[in-house]
Structures are given as structure tokens and as C-alpha cells.
Structure 1
Amino acid sequence: MHSDRAAGSLIAALDIGGTKIAGALVDASGRLLVRALRPTPAKQDGETVMRAVGEVLGELRLDGGWRRVVAVGIGSAGPVDASRGTVSPVNVPGWRDFPLVERVARAADALPVVLTGDGVAMTAAEHWLGAARGYDNALCMVVSTGVGGGLVLGGALLPGPTGNAGHIGHISVDLDGDSCPCGSRGCVERLASGPNIVRRALENGWVPAGGAEPTAAAVAQSARAGDPVALASFDRAAQALAAGIAATATLVEVRVVVIGGGVAGAGDVLFGPLRAHLARYATLSFAAGIEVVPALLGTDAGLVGAAAAAAQALGLAEFSPEFALEG
């Protein structure tokens, strides 16, 4: 499709969330050469949100590197529908079935545009340059305000037809559990997300140390200090994550699980009980012994991953580093 493109091609990446709209020009080694950023006017109408996206793109277009851009990759908060090119982010109510791909293509010189969900974008980034590099089969997860994820199978990102494959946060792990906002019951997200870790701790009598704000980080701090209620809330979150991971590994035989997002910042308070529970849930020979590791790319994962997902979808070999095969 772009066989005549010059060496040194770039991909314009957009990372769209409820708080910020970030953009960058990304080179074939995954470096972010030029950045642009706007706050997301999440409470405004859809056209106002699109104007902020247009401003980010406009800033990128002013850079001399824009002439080397061969595609635009978008990682967006979901739900997204890559098959239709639309987005309906839960925390951006002005966008419901918003035709983002069409609008971005119009603002970006009719370049090819590839849309994917933010969990899948993070997965693409961690497989390209992060903690899943060198693995042909991986599950990557974001544990934050929500719980999202994505899959790498057979050495390739598996976004699924709509760009949402691997959305582990809405596997049900508690059959008669609390109702989830998604409409189901007992979802991983309902047990393991940051706000739900806080909710459970507060319901059981936890009080933040020193009058701090009740956040997942504050619960983690109390857990490190030995608070039994805080420890129990993280243990329950870890159990839910372990059950979801074990189900995924049983279905598709992943060898590594990469966990990022704010809740992963709890460190051993999360990873310790998670590994212990996982050993009890993932017992079949082909699912046992999964490595669980923290993500490496942090807040840049969305931009790096949007570029990586676009490169794979469009077959841009220049952006496809060699991955070592699994042992």
C-alpha cells in the first residue's frame, strides 16, 4: 500500500481518554519525536471534543516530520468499534457512535487511519518495546479506574473485529456477584478496579492514614503498613484478577501476563497475592507457570501502542521489529 514510502516513515499516534488527548509522531523504533497534548473537554458536546482532537493533529502537522507520516493510529477509551470506525467512550458522553476514523482522516490529509481500544493499544506497545517483548503469546492488562486488556497470539496482536478482543475486565468471576455497570454480574472490573478496591475497604471500616484522600494508592499504603482491611481488599482484587487470567490462559495458552495502570503501582501488595491465587486457579499443565510482570512503558504506552497497532494492521514492515521466539 505504501511501497513507495521513503525510509524514515512516521506514524501519527493519538491516545484519547477522558482526561487528556495526547498525540505524537512515532518513528520505526518507537520513539516519540514530537508531542502534542490537550485536556479532554469530556463534559462538552461531541464537536467540542473533536475540536480538541483537531488541535492536537494541527500541532503535529506543523512539524516538518509530518510529510513523512504514512498513517494515523488511534487508541481510544471504549467502547470502540473499529469495524465501523466509531467510538462511544463511557467517560465522554458527547461521543456516542461518533465517526472518529472518518473525522480524523479528513483532518489528516486522507491518510489511512487505524482505530483500536486503549487496552489493545497498551498490549501492542508492551509487545513491541515493553515487558511482553519476545513472547509470542501474551495477555496485557490495564488495572486502573477500569480493567482492560489485550492479547498477543502467535506473535501478532489480536484486536478482534471491533478492536476490543482481550477485554478481561468483563469476564464474570463471581457468578452471583454485584451488578456491574456493563450489565453483567461479578465482573473482574467490579472486584479489581481502583475505585472498587477503595469501595470495599471503606465498606469494611478502612480509614485513610492521616486524613488522605481515599484512593487505591492510599489503600496500598495502608496495606504495606499491615492494615488487615486494606490487605484483604487487595487480596480480593488479586483473586478476581487471577481467576480472569487463569480463564484466559486456559482458552488461549498465554505464557506471560503484563499488568499496568495505576493499581499496578501498588507493587507487591498486588503482585504477591495475585501470583499466589494464580497458582491455585491456573492448574492445568498448559496454563500453569504463567509469568506475571509489571508493565514497562507507563503513560507513553497508549501512543506507542496506537502506532504499533496501526503498523501491524497496515502491514508496515518498517515498524515490525524482530521478536525472539518463546522458549
Structure 2
Amino acid sequence: MHTDLVAALDIGGTKIAGALVDGDGSLLVRAQRPTPAREDAESVMGAVAAVLEELKVSPLWHGARAVGIGSAGPVDASAGTVSPVNVPGWRDFPLVERVVAETGGLPVALVGDGVAMTAAEHWLGAARGYDNALCLVVSTGVGGGLVLGGKLHRGPTGNAGHIGHISVDLDGDLCPCGARGCVERLASGPNIARRALENGWLPGPDGDATAAAVAASARLGDRAAVASFERAAQALAAGIAATATLTEIDIAVIGGGVAGAGEVLFAPLRRSLRDYATLSFVRGLTVAPAVMGTDAGLVGAAAAASSVRHEGANARAVAAP
């Protein structure tokens, strides 16, 4: 029998996924609901509760010792609240308190989705075996997380490693966050597509104007498409090199939809890193694609939960196993 499990929740703007996870990171029971992102706070919480109810009817539920939550951000782990940008009904929503109540008082760990992905990659993925790592999620936005000294470094509110809002272009475009020239403004999927379109790239007959379509054109040599990915890679390289110089990370792991572009992104990224990571102690930095895929959020949330099993109800501290 499985008597030492954790429950994991992965909360995003599109779906709320849940799982019961064992000590090896295997997802034994799964549940999922669409996120009612345009509805009020209680409707969104209702979807979370429905996922938890589906897990609770499993005979394995009695083995769950803690709950881990990876949520779209911003999150505030110190307060136990979430304010996902793409779920406007949730602003400073007391998610930890509500999940504690739904699960009968199990200890709960809350982290942002970038930190959850980092926990997953460090536990079972591309950053396994590295004591110092930066993991990035490059998709609609750019998020990330840090492993320092062999442990997940989440910061007081659970947002440490949020590389997307490091400024790499001092006089660059205004970012929705309020700063200028952020990595996200240059390297996210929508911004890669926007820049390609502005510079003359034309979508194919199907009208697909996503970063994936830009990547397909770049593989065929389209100049505007190639240039947009090179600019994104340059921004990522500058942000990664800055992080490495501050923290002496050994590896940068890159996941998210944009990483699916493969060498269209990674080749110029490695070239640009040589221009930015120039000091002796960062020159050997490895760059690798993430390997955990769509389960990274659940596995990372489980990694967070594993750390609080012995800390009592409402505990929020996090460390990768």
C-alpha cells in the first residue's frame, strides 16, 4: 500500500490539474478541470475543490501526508495568497487557507509555477545532480526558479528566480510590469511573434501567427523569423549570464513552449552566452532543454509538498527532495 504520498495541484489560466504522487515522483492518480478564469473567485475555488474531491475519493488518498501547490503568479507564499495575472477573480486569494480546509488540515506548500518547474527539473529532470541551477519557463511569459547549494531557493514570497523581469535593454520597450527592456518583453512567445510580424514576417496560409509558426519559418531560413529568435536568445543569454554572475549557477535549464523551437532558439542562445558569460567562473555554464514536459508543474508541486510533511499544518517552506 502507498502510505507516504503527497497531493499536488498545478493551477494555471487554462486548467487546474491534480495528482497523488509517490516518493519517486510517479503520478498515481490524476484529476483535472478547466479553469473558469473569467468567473469570480469562488467559481475558481470550486474547480480546485472539484479536483481535490476527485483525488479524495481514491483509496490512495488516506496515504497523502501534505499538499503542494504550483500556481500561476504572482504568489505570496508568506501570506498563503495568489493573484494570477490571467485569473482576475483571484487577487490576494487565500488559497493555502482554503486548501488546508478542503483537505482536513494537511500541511500545504505554495510556490509559483516557475519555481515548481525548477523543483521538478532538479528532482527528476535536466538539473538533477546539479547543486546550483537556474530553470526557466519561456512561453506566454518568462518565469523561472533557482536551486542554490542543492536546495530550491524560493525567497520569502516564493518568487525568487523570476528572470523574466530582469531588464536587459535599459532604454527598451515598456513592459506591462512597469519596467523597461525586460527579458520577457523580448523573449516570450507573443513578443517573438510580434517582433517577427513588425519586421515583415508573414504567417502561412493557415494564418498561424504564434512563436511556433515563427520557428517553423526560421528553420526554412526566413530572415525576420531568424532575427526575432536571435533577439530573444540574446535577451535570455544576458539574463542567464547576469544570474550566473550573481549566483554561480552551473546549468540553465529552459522549458516552456518556446523551448520547443529547439536549435532555432538554443543555437543562438549558446552563441550569445559566449558574449555575455565571459568571466572565468561562468564560462563553463551548461544550457540544456527541460525534460519534464507538461507534468513538471505537478511533479514540482509534489517536490514542494515533500518538504512540509513533518512541519505541521499551514507550513509553507519548500525544498526539492
Partner of 2:277: 282
- SS of aligned partner of 1:189: helix
- After TM superposition, the structure 1 = structure 2 runs for residues 28-47 of structure 1, keeping only pairs within 5 Å, are 28-47=23-42
Aligned residues: 314
Q: Is the 8 A contact 1:131 1:295 kept in 2?
A: yes
- Aligned partner of 2:243 in structure 1 is 248
Root-mean-square deviation (CA, aligned residues, Å) is 1.4
In the TM superposition, 1:45-56 aligns within 5 A as: 45-56=40-51
- Shift >6 Å, 4+ stretches: none
- 1:178-327 to structure 2, matched below 5 A, reads 178-314=173-309
Tell me the residue number matched to 1:325: none
Structure 2: distance between partners of 1:312 and 1:250: 29
Say whether the 8 Å CA contact 1:9–1:69 is kept in structure 2: yes
With the length of structure 2 as denominator, give the TM-score of the two structures: 0.96
Whole-Å Cα distance in 1 between the matches of residues 41 and 97 of structure 2? 14
1:9-46 CA distance string (max 9 Å, x none):
00000000000000000000000000000000000000
Deviation at 1:264, TM superposition (A): 0.1
Q: How does 1:16-165 map to 2 (within 5 A)?
A: 16-165=11-160
Once the two structures are superposed, what CA deviation does each residue of 1:282-317 show, in whole Å capped at 9, x if it has no partner?
Answer: 00011112110000010000000001022235569x
Q: Flag the 1:320–1:282 CA change in 2: closer, same or farther, 3 A.
A: closer
Deviations along 1:101-129, whole A, 9 cap, x unmatched?
00011001110011000000000000000
Check whether the contact 1:8–1:28 (CA below 8 A) recurs between aligned residues. no
Distance 1:269 1:240 in 2: 15
| Letter of the structure 2 residue corresponding to residue 50 of structure 1 | M
Task: Find the counterpart in structure 2 of residue 11 from structure 1.
Answer: 6
Choose 306-315 or 163-172, whichever is displaced more.
Answer: 306-315
Q: Is the 8 A contact 1:279 1:289 kept in 2?
A: no
Letter of the structure 2 residue corresponding to residue 257 of structure 1: A
Q: Percent identical across equivalent pairs?
A: 74
Q: CA deviation at 1:320?
A: 7.0
**Amino acid in the other structure paired with 2:299:** V
Aligned in 2, Cα 1:315/1:245: closer, same or farther, shift over 3 Å?
farther
Letter in 1 for 2:157: T
Q: CA deviation at 1:213?
A: 1.2
Pair 309,320 (structure 1): closer, same or farther in 2 beyond 3 Å? closer
Q: CA–CA distance in 1 between the matches of 2:78 and 2:282?
A: 32
Letter in 1 for 2:283: A
Q: What is the deviation of 1:192?
A: 0.1
Distance between the aligned counterparts of 1:293 and 1:155, measured in 2?
A: 18
Q: What SS does structure 1 have at the residue aligned with 2:205?
A: helix
Gaps of 5+ in 2: 312-318
1:209, distance to aligned residue in structure 2 (A): 2.3
Give the C-alpha shift of residue 185 in structure 1: 0.6
What's the counterpart of residue 3 of structure 1?
none
Task: Give the Cα–Cα distance (whole angstroms) in 1 for the partners of residues 297 and 30 of structure 2.
Answer: 13
* Structure 1 unmatched ranges of 5 or more: 1-5, 322-327
Asked whether the 8 Å contact 2:7–2:305 carries over to 1, the reply is no
- After TM superposition, give the deviation of residue 154 of structure 1 in Å: 0.4
Asked if structure 2 preserves the Cα contact closer than 8 Å seen for 1:177 and 1:186, the reply is yes
What do residues 220-273 of structure 1 show as CA deviations (whole Å, max 9, x unaligned)?
000000000000000000000000000000000000010000000000000000
Question: Which residue in the other structure is 2:316 paired with?
Answer: none
Asked if the contact 2:3–2:62 (Cα under 8 Å) also holds between the matched residues in 1, the reply is: no
In 1, distance between residues paired with 2:202 and 2:10? 35
CA distance in 2, matches of 1:21, 1:84: 21
CA contact 2:3–2:64 (8 Å) conserved in 1: no
Instruction: With the length of structure 1 as denominator, give the TM-score of the two structures.
Output: 0.94
